[in-house]
Amino acid sequence: MIDRLLLYKLRCIKCGFEGKLSVADENKGKDINGFLECPKCRKKYEIREGIPIIIPSYGMLQDERVQVFDKFSERYDSWFSSERGKILFENELRAINSVLERIKYVESLEIGVGTGAFAEKLGIRFGVDPAWHALLQAKKRGIIVVQGVAEKLPFSSNQFDIVFIIVTICYVRSPLLVLEETKRVLKSGGYLVIGFIDRNSCWGKYYLEKKRRGHLFYSPANFYTFNEVKRMLSKIGFKIIRVASTITQKPSEKTIELEEPKTTLDPSASFIVVLGKSE
Ligand SMILES: [Zn+2]
């Protein structure tokens, strides 16, 4: 059945009702598949394999950015255990952990949780993503997941101590809308961790070239620079508290090594992590 903790966090995206969505009557005797119902507007949301589906329209799932992670979720996930992927992933995790030092949180959410690779390593409890097959993998990793979109989060306001957006900002339709929604679901004074490849960095340029050539995972991506992310955060009302940067090795290098993250913005680093606080 759907996770009990989750029931209290969900929001009706049709009428904005925030409270406990009820489990619809016809669910009797069914463990996993069924419906949730909004007590206010009576909108029903499907639950499939224990995962609530709270999306504005099924048509949105046809978007290229969603399709690629839905259809090729296993191929995407295998990157994390590939020879190069494993090291790059570990370097990214180290940078993320470096901004989290002495930050205390209980309720955590990852927007764009994908297959749950980051969430599992970072101990993130909840995840949301539009890509169904990626979510199934995240669920197997123990993450409590919802199928939803970042621009209209299926969560009530003031729910989380911290929200993570890791290598996801480049795949959303509207980063500003996503940051606004992030601010809404965060408790007052809550934290945002945003990790991304800077467009002007050497890996940024490498991925842009892949995008230009129509690479499966990079062609739907829009990359941003640190300054662009900084401007967006300040526009929505996030104060930057810490930054970290890593991956100073070039994509052309044959072997990629583990590196210690810098707690500053290293101009030769490609992966940047920003810790913001909701003001
Ligand atoms: Zn409703």
Per-residue confidence (pLDDT) for residue 1, from 0 to 100: 66
> 39 is in which domain, residue-wise?
1-54
Residues 209 and 165 in one domain: yes
| CA 147 – ligand 1 centroid, Å | 17
Residues 204 and 107 in one domain: yes
Average pLDDT, the chain: 93
Residue type at 271? F
Please say if the pLDDT value at position 26 is more than 90: no
Q: Which residues surround ligand 1, an ion (CB under 5 A)?
A: 12, 14-15, 17, 38, 40-41, 43
What's the total number of domains in the chain? Answer: 2
| CA 37 – ligand 1 centroid, Å | 8
Query: Once rounded to an integer, what is the mean pLDDT over residues 45-70?
Result: 89
| CA 231 – ligand 1 centroid, Å | 34
Please say if the pLDDT value at position 27 is more than 90: no
Query: Once rounded to an integer, what is the mean pLDDT over residues 89-112?
Result: 96
The string of pLDDT tens digits covering residues 162-193 is: 999 999 999 998 999 999 999 999 999 999 99
Pair 198, 239: CB distance under 8 Å: no
Query: Once rounded to an integer, what is the mean pLDDT over residues 105-115?
Result: 96
- Based on C-alpha coordinates, what's the Rg of the chain? 19
Residues 33 and 117 in one domain: no
Cβ-based burial of 146 (10 A; exposed 0-12, middle 13-18, buried ≥19): buried
Binned at pLDDT 50, 70 and 90, residue 70 comes out as confident
The string of pLDDT tens digits covering residues 233-260 is: 999 999 999 999 999 999 999 899 999 9
Residues 123 and 1 in one domain: no
Residues 67 and 166 in one domain: yes
Angle of helix 226-236 relative to helix 175-185, nearest 10 degrees, comes to 50
Confidence (pTM):
0.95
| CA 39 – ligand 1 centroid, Å | 7
Pair 92, 153: CB distance under 8 Å: no
